[in-house]
């Protein structure tokens, strides 16, 4: 064990790429370094320790990482004369110590299940040791990063992992290879954490997992996610969100729990990926177009007015124009309030990476543009429903474009803008629940005046 107390007084900066799980892991990295006496700074140039928490779902993330790490070579000298560059997250898990063959200035590499090892590895690097360049724990290790200290980005919001890993092995996805198989946290541990967060002033939690709907299967023998939603709802926490949901595992019990638990927000992100049954089979998604449409109907019947969002991949190998048209028609039929759309990115090591696809890039781009236009039209249409109504927003902070405008999110996860009312300062309202009367409904946000008092 290294003397981590020697890190006291050093500065650090954490740069995060990718999903909510990485954001949570970054908060744990900050908590760990803070517990060692390190001081957080705003930019990598100011830091003695720079930690990149990485994502490898799409190729663009790899390219971005290489560029930023390479830039550290010419960065100004750090405050204490020796900068330690660390890479964690999914790229670290995937490439291991091989990362240093391409990025010579990297000192520490730590896998997705080795966050707790980071302070020791940094001390070793400062002492000139290269023997522990890559640290990982066994696939069977029961520990979760939630057991580590945390430095949350927002005092009113918290990420709460309920499981890690994935058993689905979608043919395009690298996640099971870098996050491992599904492992559940103990039911009581999750509920206790949310209860403590609520007592500490947190107002909204997001339950995290690669497939939250299967929570409980690994530890208890059968899914318990519906039961977990109800139990978390009894802690007093005001807002509950969760991600990600796999359609094949979203049960009627969970749909009912969503409708019957007031704290669960009326919004669901349910990745469809394609509207073609043929493509879904090639993706190894284990549901059909018809299955998804029927599921969406059941969700809407149980939760009238719910906002559904989704993920869609364009250009999966072998996708035809007919397949793509089926995606467009499904998007119209479901009426998503928003969607994350992606052009397929080949990930080495996945089954789909071995499939040759002669479709010209310009054809795929044209399809993507058509889908993006449709998604924008539907988002605009969904927001018109809010015109003239009052929506509750959890205030997050000032707009990046205008410091006089505050930004929050409604229960349906709609972005809400409003001017700081006379007599208030921004800091008076951040983390508060406010009512906003919607006078303007744009494609990606709602806007209007705050009415009443903050809560």
Q: Where are the alpha helices (DSSP H) in 37-127?
A: 59-71, 90-95, 99-102, 118-126
Distance CA 345, CA 355 (A): 12
pLDDT of amino acid 146:
60
* HSE-up (13 A, CA, CB side) for residue 261: 27
Bridge partner list, 111: none
- Write down the CATH superfamily of domain 155-384: tm_1862 like domain (3.80.30.20)
Residue limits of CATH 2.40.50 in the chain: 390-451
Binding-site residue ranges = 19, 55, 90, 166, 170, 173
pLDDT of amino acid 140:
44
Binding-site residue ranges for [4Fe-4S] cluster = 19, 55, 90, 166, 170, 173
Residue limits of CATH 3.80.30.20 in the chain: 155-384
Dihedral sign for Cα atoms in the order 362, 368, 372, 375: positive
Closest CA to 52 of 133, 120, 109, 129: 109
- Cα angle 307, 310, 312; round to 5: 155
Residue limits of CATH 3.40.50.280 in the chain: 4-135
The list of the chain residues with pLDDT below 50 reads 1, 132, 137-142
pLDDT of amino acid 141:
46
pLDDT of amino acid 367:
98
The two three-digit tokens of residue 415, written as one number: 């972005």
pLDDT of amino acid 97:
75
Tell me which residue has tokens 């000298």: 77
Task: Domain 390-451: give its CATH architecture.
Answer: Beta Barrel (2.40)
Output the DSSP codes for 255-291: HHHHHH-TTB-SEEEB--B-S-HHHHHHTT----HHH
CATH fold of 4-135 reads Rossmann fold (3.40.50)
Closest CA to 133 of 147, 144, 122, 145: 122
Burial label, 201 (beta-carbon count in 10 A; 0-12, 13-18, 19+): exposed
């Amino acid at each position: 064990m290294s003397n981590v107390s020697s890190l006291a007084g050093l500065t650090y900066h954490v740069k995060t790429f990718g999903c909510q799980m990485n954001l949570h892991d970054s908060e744990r990295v900050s908590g760990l370094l803070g517990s060692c006496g390190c001081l957080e700074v705003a930019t990598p140039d100011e830091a003695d320790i720079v930690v990149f928490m990485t994502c490898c779902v799409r190729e663009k993330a790899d390219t971005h990482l290489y560029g930023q790490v390479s830039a550290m070579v010419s960065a100004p000298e750090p405050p204490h004369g020796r900068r330690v560059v660390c890479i964690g997250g999914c790229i670290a898990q995937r490439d291991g110590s091989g990362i240093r063959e391409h990025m010579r200035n990297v000192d520490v590499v730590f896998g997705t299940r080795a966050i707790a090892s980071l302070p020791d590895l940094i001390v070793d690097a400062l002492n000139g040791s290269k023997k522990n360049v890559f640290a990982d724990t066994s696939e069977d290790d029961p520990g979760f990063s939630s057991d580590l200290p945390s430095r949350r980005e927002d005092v009113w919001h918290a990420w709460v992992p309920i499981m890690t890993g994935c058993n689905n092995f979608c043919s395009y996805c690298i996640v099971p290879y870098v996050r491992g198989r599904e492992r559940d946290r103990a039911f009581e541990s999750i509920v206790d954490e949310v209860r403590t967060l609520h007592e500490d002033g947190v107002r909204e939690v997001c339950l995290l997992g690669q497939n939250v709907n299967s929570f409980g299967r690994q530890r208890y023998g059968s899914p318990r996610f519906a039961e977990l939603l109800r139990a978390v709802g009894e802690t007093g926490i005001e807002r509950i969100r969760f991600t990600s949901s796999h359609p094949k595992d979203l049960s009627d019990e969970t749909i009912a729990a969503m409708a019957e638990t007031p704290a669960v927000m009326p919004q669901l992100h349910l990745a469809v990926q394609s509207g073609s049954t043929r493509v879904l089979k090639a993706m190894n998604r284990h549901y059909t177009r018809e299955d998804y449409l029927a599921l969406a109907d059941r969700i809407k019947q149980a939760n009238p007015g719910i906002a559904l969002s989704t993920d869609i991949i364009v250009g999966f190998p072998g996708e035809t124009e007919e397949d793509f048209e089926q995606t467009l028609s499904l998007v119209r039929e479901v009426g998503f309030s928003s969607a994350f759309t992606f052009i397929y990115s080949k990930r080495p090591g996945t089954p789909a990476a071995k499939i040759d696809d002669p479709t010209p890039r310009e054809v795929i781009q044209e399809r993507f543009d058509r889908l993006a236009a449709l998604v924008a039209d539907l988002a605009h249409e969904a927001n018109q429903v809010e015109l003239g109504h009052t929506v509750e927003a959890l205030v997050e902070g000032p707009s990046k474009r205008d410091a006089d405008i505050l930004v929050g999110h409604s229960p349906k996860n709609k972005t809400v803008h409003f001017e700081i009312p006379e007599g208030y300062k921004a800091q008076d309202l951040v983390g508060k629940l406010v009512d906003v009367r919607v006078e303007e409904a744009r494609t990606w946000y709602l806007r209007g005046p705050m009415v009443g008092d903050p809560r």
